[in-house]
Structure 1
């Protein structure tokens, strides 16, 4: 294979691995009666953001969903009491999402299933050296101009 062929094969493998792992993890989480995986990802980001939460655009950027999709998702989570949606005092067009105590409880309850499933469907297939190489390579693609040291 040429260098270009290898890179295209890496792209294809990354897409296939992502699709396979996410579907399996989602299935495990749902089978256990927990919140949907997309909700878990949103709650995880909101928890990490702290008490002030995140602007909706930032939620969309962090969970890799469209702003429209995130808005609908957060509205569903608001109805279930997992998230509060607050107006931005400085920009009337924007709003903030903040995790609620019920959302934090749902996140805590789902975390063990999620972590076991990541181990089973992703980590178990990699050596430590594989994990280091994959993480470095993917962060180089995800943050090409960030200047963030990688590993």
Structure 2
């Protein structure tokens, strides 16, 4: 097993702790304003950014970041709340799509100012422009490497 340097381990731990604390604070702010939770926002924004505001459930599962576990139950709840609707696939009888409703988009738009303020306050305000650029490059390198590795694994299986 590769040995981690003290700097690497410290950076990792601080990354995890900072991420958890930022999410906690943004969740708190959204709840205080009675807006959708961040996990719901995660699903709604994935649909909002998709062509025709719809994704196959398998694709939605790949797109969401914060709410992978219990996604089926969440989809059921969001459908009951009128934020999304299910649409059967015409090409594949077993397939189905999650589609963002107008109400889902409305709730997304209402939550965004609080979410954006949280990103600014709890994340960006602590960093200089140069630090943001360095962090963006560094996280981009990590993400792209992992994404490439995942794609290679998918082709090999």
Partner of 1:80: 81
Contact conserved, 1:53 with 1:96, CA < 8 A, in 2?
yes
Q: How does 1:2-151 map to 2 (within 5 A)?
A: 4-64=5-65, 65-66=67-68, 69-144=70-145, 146=148
1:43 is paired with a residue whose SS is helix
Q: Where does the alignment leave 5 or more consecutive residues of structure 2 unmatched? A: 149-157
Q: Distance in 2 between matches of 1:102 and 1:136?
A: 36
- Check 1:93–1:8 CA distance in 2 against 1; reply closer, same or farther (3 A cut): farther
TM-score, scaled to structure 1: 0.86
Contact 1:59 1:70 in 2 (8 A): no
Structure 1: distance between partners of 2:139 and 2:118: 21
What is the Cα deviation at residue 108 of structure 1? 0.8
Gaps of 5+ in 1: 147-151
How many residue pairs end up in the alignment?
144
Separation in structure 2 between the aligned mates of residue 15 and residue 127 of structure 1, nearest angstrom = 20
TM-aligned CA deviation for residue 7 of structure 1 = 2.1
- Checking the alignment, whether the CA contact within 8 Å between 1:56 and 1:97 is kept in structure 2 is yes
Deviation, 1:80, is 0.3
